[in-house]
């Protein structure tokens, strides 16, 4: 059981907007530590998608955006495309555990 | 272009040892912290260990503390993970990742290797 809670799955039709939540606590997100997001396409290594809550690395489409408020963070994907079908993970630091932590992951299905 | 190439995975018996390597290229390896992250079959990502750029400071997840040791050779641009007293629950793909971030506790992993599979089984 991860200290960062994500929904196991979300889905949406092409062109739609979906959001993936990442719920933490006062020892991680709520303590002010940044949240980062990764995309893992089937059979491949994870790829950095969002860093520092809402920053996109070069090459990541602006259809992907991140936000953070209180003890939670969210990843939003607009204009959903078939190639967005993947697993998505949030990541932060937890002071109680004394280490970096990942959410359990969310499988995005494009209908 | 940043490249990270892991090697050393394989089948090992419970209680055995294995050393993973990660050859880095395309960036100033000695200037960056590095990490290992693992993923059990069909499961999510789990941070394992991180080492500072100089190699002076190391950090471990509770699940591997006392059994795993991270190290680096900056002259060879190579990261290592020595795994001892292996258990079935250590079975996973192990990824080497380059660390980035302006604030140490808010670090993130900006480049990943392709991973190497470690299977602990009798």
- Please tell me the distance from the alpha carbon of residue B59 to that of residue B105, in angstroms, as a whole number: 12
Residue A89 distance to chain B (closest CA, Å): 8
State what percent of residues in chain A have pLDDT above 90.
Answer: 99
For A79-110, what is each residue's pLDDT tens digit?
A: 999 999 999 999 999 999 999 999 999 999 99
pLDDT on residue A1: 81
- Please tell me the distance from the alpha carbon of residue B112 to that of residue B5, in angstroms, as a whole number: 9
Which among A34, A45, A101 has the least Cβ separation from residue B106? A34
Residue A33 distance to chain B (closest CA, Å): 6
- Please tell me the distance from the alpha carbon of residue B101 to that of residue A9, in angstroms, as a whole number: 29
Judged on CB neighbours under 10 Å (0-12, 13-18, 19+), A19 is: middle
Could you read off the pLDDT tens digit of each residue along chain B, which spans 122 residues? 999 999 999 999 999 999 999 999 999 999 999 999 999 999 999 999 999 999 999 999 999 999 999 999 999 999 999 999 999 999 999 999 999 988 888 999 999 999 999 999 99
- Please tell me the distance from the alpha carbon of residue B113 to that of residue B102, in angstroms, as a whole number: 22
What number is the average pLDDT over the span A28-56?
97
Task: Check CB contact of A48 with chain B, cutoff 8 Å.
Answer: yes
pLDDT on residue A87: 98
DSSP letter assigned to residue A63: T
Q: Are B83 and B38 in contact (CB under 8 A)?
A: no
Contacts of A95 in chain B (CB under 8 A): 105
pLDDT on residue A44: 97
Residue corresponding to tokens 């060879």: B76
- At a CB cut-off of 8 Å and minimum separation 6, what does A54 contact? A65, A66, A67, A68
Query: What are the residues of chain B with a beta carbon less than 8 Å away from any beta carbon of chain A?
Result: 35, 37, 44-47, 50, 59-62, 95, 100-101, 103, 105-115
Task: Check CB contact of A9 with chain B, cutoff 8 Å.
Answer: no
- At a CB cut-off of 8 Å and minimum separation 6, what does A59 contact? none
């Amino acid at each position: 059981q991860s200290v960062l809670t994500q929904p196991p799955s979300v889905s949406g039709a092409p062109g739609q907007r979906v959001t993936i939540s990442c719920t933490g606590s006062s020892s991680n997100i709520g303590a002010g530590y940044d949240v980062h997001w990764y995309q893992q396409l089937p059979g491949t290594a994870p790829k950095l998608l969002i860093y520092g809550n809402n920053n996109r690395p070069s090459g990541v489409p602006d259809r992907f955006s991140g936000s953070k408020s209180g003890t939670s963070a969210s990843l939003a994907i607009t204009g959903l495309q078939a190639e967005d079908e993947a697993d998505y993970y949030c990541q932060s630091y937890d002071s109680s555990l004394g280490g970096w932590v990942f959410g359990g992951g969310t499988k995005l299905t494009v209908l | 272009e940043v490249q990270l190439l892991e090697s050393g995975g394989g089948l090992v018996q419970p209680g055995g040892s294995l050393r993973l390597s990660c050859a880095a290229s395309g960036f100033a390896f000695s200037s960056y912290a590095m990490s290992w992250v693992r993923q059990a079959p069909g499961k999510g990502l789990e941070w394992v260990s991180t080492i500072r750029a100089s190699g002076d400071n190391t950090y471990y997840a509770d699940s591997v503390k006392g059994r795993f040791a991270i190290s680096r050779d900056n002259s060879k641009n190579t990261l290592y993970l020595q795994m001892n007293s292996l258990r079935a629950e250590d079975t996973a793909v192990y990824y080497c990742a380059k660390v980035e971030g302006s604030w140490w506790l808010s670090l993130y992993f900006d480049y990943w290797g392709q991973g190497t599979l470690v299977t602990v089984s009798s």
